[in-house]
Structures are given as structure tokens and as C-alpha cells.
Structure 1
């Protein structure tokens, strides 16, 4: 069957965007990469991909860049996503992004429900295709489908250095802007089956994965649309970020005692300067569902740890390849007709088995921990 998506534009060729472009090409798509800084990109087979310099503040050039493409994947900072989504809507092309920002996704949902302009087809809008929101929600929802009744869904993700140093035990391998937002913005959760907003960096708990002690606390944005989907069906649902012990205490000191809560840009710059990126990172995924399965109380755990991976002769950080592979897998599913070709796609509506069956999704077979516990 012919694909509904053949040519894809990737906006932003940074830590994740470059690999998104490469994996798309490896999956058989024609790709054009757009970035403020021109660069050379090679596929795993050594084929050079088309790239173009682009100033996203140049509205005419920006919209012209969408001519001839079937889909866009936005890998830019979250505050630029709405502009890309609106342009995709106007051009009638499919839209994918990696954002955890709630207002951004709300705007994308509005666009997905709007009547397309005359002569335009209604495209697919699939935001939040990264790790959290994204893959962790797909995992949690796929586990939940096995239960007759669901009491709780607990989702956790941590992108960390393998060899932490200092009191923070951290390295900024992801967007500093995004990290600060998820630490400070209120978190949507389900409590007693109802949606509530609660402060970030609260409800801390101890977590052990493969003998490694971690701590987890609520952070914003990681659930995407799951609270709306499961309201009234699940008593408790939340998303927490995994860190090494003591991290959240130090962040509380920084934001509250040092009164830096309202100086987000400054804090982001401080974090990158003090805890710059590292190549030896690790990504932890931890999902747990409790309820009634086959007539009995049951808890299903899904625990994975992902290390840097060689792709196309280059070693990619764990956070880069897990995020890129998740996003590209969703593009593949839409292109191949395994997800809706129009309207809004929730991550929790994607079957984990389908995602793992894509060209990019098969990369998730590389794991240091494969653990499915039953209690």
C-alpha cells in the first residue's frame, strides 16, 4: 500500500532533530532538514540528506519551506511549535512534535478540530511524540488495556548521566528551558478519578531500578492528554521524573530559597553552565499499572534502561535516540495507515506493539534492563 507521507520536513537539527531526519530517511522517507545553521547530514548508508538554512522569523521563507512536503516534524524549542503547527494547518500537511508544553498542545488540538481551508485536506496532528509525553504514555496505556479494572497508572522517566557528580547528580542533555518548565509548572494528575492541578517537585518517592537508587517527584507535562482520557476510569494517574537522590532538594533550594522561580531563563543558563551535557547518559522508563486482571488483584511493571547506541557509525546519546526513534515511529504509523490520517492523535491511542514493529521502533530492542514484574 502506498504511503500517505513521502516527503518530510524536519525543523531544527539539534541534539534530536538531526537523528530524526536520519531515521526518517532510513525508514524510506524523502527528508529535508531546516535549521538556522547549515550542516551536512548523512544517513546510515552514507547518503547525504538535503538541508536548507532557515530563519523562522522570516514568515515568507518559513511558509515557503512547506511547499511540496507531506509532513513536518518540529524539533525546535517549544515556544516555536505553535507557529510551525499553524503553518502546517494552513498548508494542509501532517504535523508532529516533541513538546511537553501544555498550552502548545492545547493550540494544536484546536487546529486539529478546525475546518481546513477550501481545497485543503484535513491533516493529522500528533504532538508530544517524544519520551514524556510520548513513549511512556504509549507504554502505560498498552499495559492498562490488559486490565479489567484499573486502580492506578504510575509513569516515570529519567534522563540521567551514568556517572553523576555533585549534589545535583545531573547533566543537561535535554532542553534546559523544558527542564525548568517541568520543575515549576503545576502538574495535572488524577486523584480519586478526577483531574487536579498540583505543585511540581512534590510527592517524592524512592525508586530502585536494577539496584540503582533513584528518587521521583511530580513534574509537569509528562502525561500529555492522558488525564482527560482516563478521567472517571482510573482512580490515580500521575507522571514523575526520576533523578538521583537529593536532586529535588537542591532544586527546591535554587528556586525557593534563592528566589529564582521567576528567573527561568537565568536558571536555565546556570544549569547548562554548571551541568553541561555528557555522552555517557542513560534513560530510564518505569511504568506500573495496578487493578483487576483476570479477576484477581494485579500489578504490571514495565522497566527499561537505555544506553547510548551506535546508529550509522555514530554513537548517539540515549536521550537523543530514544526520543528520535519514538517520534519517527509515529510518523511511520501514520504514513502506513496504522494510525488515523486526519485529526488529533493521542499518544495513548498508539499500541506499543505497533510502535515497536516500525523501522525506528525496533531500536527499542536495545536495552540494559528488561523487566516485567508480576505481583
Structure 2
């Protein structure tokens, strides 16, 4: 049973994670500066990169939920393992994932990275589809977090970390192609996709599959994850990162994009998956397609990307606490039963707040 939870990073997503979890748990959030907002959880300030501070802060906690930039997560996970504290995060960074996965053998607590939207919810949902098949030939997962009303060629707004977006655009994407597990260049393999009557583009980006290539190796012909954007976005980012070589200066790229693309209040999250294979000897396709917009909780508005991400990680924390998932070692997102996830206290919000068709 988890009782006391530390939430690290109280930005767009972390503050909502702490808010949601505080309805069931004793939550304390930490950030560099204390927010003036009246949140329903205790707040403190501190330097999460200071190991002595973190060890003292986590020593009496049952779980830690990291909503920090990906490059801070490995050290937090190491401390959590040493202290026997359950660890959860939102990272999409593949090297961070692998480093945390290697800690699992010596861990007496749960290590559950990549519990956000993608990776996270998309993997849980995709696994829920392919587990219906006796034989699977392809798994295609697509997610987009977009401004509802796009402007300019990029048609984008940073509703979450600019560092994370740049990282997933530059790092190679892991896929299974023609039955072989391999790495392909992100921003490539562009396709046109129509969702709810509107045209989008989708292209490879890194990290969205989490551990699924490892899980489905030698079991499927095709497995890939693509990010959904408005048409023209990929070409603009290719120009910026590769033709202008800003891939070699990620800080400058982040500063330029943050200055050019202001945050918007009205956003939309698109989630699509298609699995093909055989059920009872018959070839068929199972699909999932939903969209989500901003919602109001306790008189406060939350962007779609914030609440869909926060609900996912909160649901996994809750399932561990209730003993419905294992209580130590590494948890792959695709191991989490989709029905169990959607019936959970926080996971049920995906059904409650989905866009009406």
C-alpha cells in the first residue's frame, strides 16, 4: 500500500499529477520555486539535482513520481532503488529507459518509467488490442498533441517540454520492419492520416514504443510509432534541425522554438492504433481512435496534454498501490492490462472526458 508520495517538478503536468493523487494519497510536491497557486497538496522547494537533498526528501516516502526533464531521472531512480521507494516517471528518452531497466534486478521496489501518454497510455492500449489476436502481423501506434487552431507552417505549440520534443525528433526511432528489430531516422517515413474527417501527417519519432520492440521481437512483421502533426510541420522541423544544423545545438533550437511558438490554452490530443492479424483463423483489423480536449476540474482548466498524461501515470501508481500490478521490479507499459487500467480510478477519466463522436 502506497501512502506518502513525492511528486518532483510542478510544471504543466506535475502540478496536475500531484493534484489528482492528493485525492487519495498524502502528496508533497517539490520544485525550484514555490507556486503562488492554491493547490490541494503540500509544496516545498529544493534542488532535485542535489543528491543529499533528494535522499533526505525521499527517505520517508513510499513512492516518487518524477515529472522532471528526462536527463534528471536516472539519478532519482538510483536513489529510489537504494531507499526502496517505488519509482514512476514520464520519460520518452530511450537511454534513460535502458539505464533504469538495468536497475531492476537489484530493486525491491517498483521501477515504472514511461508512464505518460506516449510512451504509456498508447502502449497499454495497443497491447490491449494485439492481445485479442492469435497471430499478429502489424501494430501501428499514433499520437498527436496539438493546438486546436494551428497557425504558421509548423502548426504547433509547446504544450509540454521543448527539450523532449527536440530529443524525440533527433534520436533514432526503434521499430520492427519486415520482421527485424532496427533503428530508423526520426522525422522519416511520413504518411497522411485522416482522423475525424481532418487531414494530418504522421512520421517516426523516438521513444514512443517504450519496451514494445523488445516484447514483440520475432512475433510481428511490423511495429512502429509515429507522431501526428498538421501537414507541413515535419518539413519545417527537418529544415530547422538538419538543413540549418540546429541538431548540433539543442539549447539554441529550444530557445528559438520556445520564442516562436507560444503556449495556447485550446489543445487537442489524438490517439490512434491499428492492429492486424488473425482471430479464430480470420484476418482482421482492430482499431482505437479517440480525441481529447481540455477539461475543467475543481474550477481549474487543464490542457488536454496535461490531463491525459497525468491520468496515465496516476492510474499506474494507483494500480501498484492496490496490489493489481507487481510490487517490485521493472514494469513494462504493455504488461498493464488495458481493461484494468481503464476501470481504475484515474484511467476511467479517458472514457469520461473523451470527445463525443
> What is the deviation of 1:326?
0.2
1:72–1:40 Cα change, 3 Å: farther
Residue equivalent to 2:32? 36
Residue equivalent to 1:9? 6
Distance 2:168 2:51 in 1: 30
| Structure 2 residue 152 is the aligned partner of structure 1 residue 166 | yes
**Which shifted more, 249-258 or 179-188?**
249-258
Residue equivalent to 1:219? 205
Q: Point out where structure 2 has 5 or more consecutive residues left out of the alignment.
A: none
Residue equivalent to 1:141? 127
Residue equivalent to 1:260? 246
State the SS of the aligned residue for 2:103.
helix
State the SS of the aligned residue for 1:39.
coil
Residue equivalent to 2:312? 326
Residues 201, 219 of structure 1: 8 Å contact kept: yes
Residue equivalent to 2:66? 74
User: TM-score of the superposition, structure 1-length normalised?
Assistant: 0.93
Residue equivalent to 1:25? 22
1:197–1:50 Cα change, 3 Å: same
Residue equivalent to 2:88? 96
Residues 127, 334 of structure 2: 8 Å contact kept: yes
> What is the deviation of 1:194?
1.9
| Structure 2 residue 47 is the aligned partner of structure 1 residue 55 | yes
Residue equivalent to 2:215? 229
Residue equivalent to 1:343? 329
Residues 40, 51 of structure 1: 8 Å contact kept: no
**Which shifted more, 149-158 or 291-300?**
291-300
Q: How many residues align?
A: 356
Distance 2:57 2:206 in 1: 33
Residues 49, 72 of structure 2: 8 Å contact kept: no
Q: Point out where structure 1 has 5 or more consecutive residues left out of the alignment.
A: 117-121, 371-375
> What is the deviation of 1:173?
0.7
Distance 2:37 2:307 in 1: 16
Residue equivalent to 2:284? 298
Residues 27, 41 of structure 2: 8 Å contact kept: yes
Residues 303, 369 of structure 1: 8 Å contact kept: no
**Which shifted more, 340-349 or 249-258?**
249-258
Distance 2:160 2:283 in 1: 38
> What is the deviation of 1:369?
5.2
Residues 325, 363 of structure 1: 8 Å contact kept: yes
Root-mean-square deviation over aligned CA pairs: 1.1
Residues 22, 42 of structure 1: 8 Å contact kept: no
| Structure 2 residue 182 is the aligned partner of structure 1 residue 185 | no
- Which of 229, 241, 260 lines up with 1:243 in the alignment? 229
State the SS of the aligned residue for 1:203.
coil
> What is the deviation of 1:171?
0.4
1:324–1:356 Cα change, 3 Å: same
| Structure 2 residue 242 is the aligned partner of structure 1 residue 271 | no
| Structure 2 residue 301 is the aligned partner of structure 1 residue 315 | yes
> What is the deviation of 1:351?
1.2
> What is the deviation of 1:218?
0.3
- Which of 124, 127, 140 lines up with 1:154 in the alignment? 140
> What is the deviation of 1:57?
3.2
> What is the deviation of 1:88?
0.3
Deviations 1:26-53 (A, max 9, x none): 2x1110111111125656xxxx311111
- Which of 197, 202, 206 lines up with 2:188 in the alignment? 202
> What is the deviation of 1:209?
0.5
Distance 2:36 2:64 in 1: 19
> What is the deviation of 1:330?
0.2
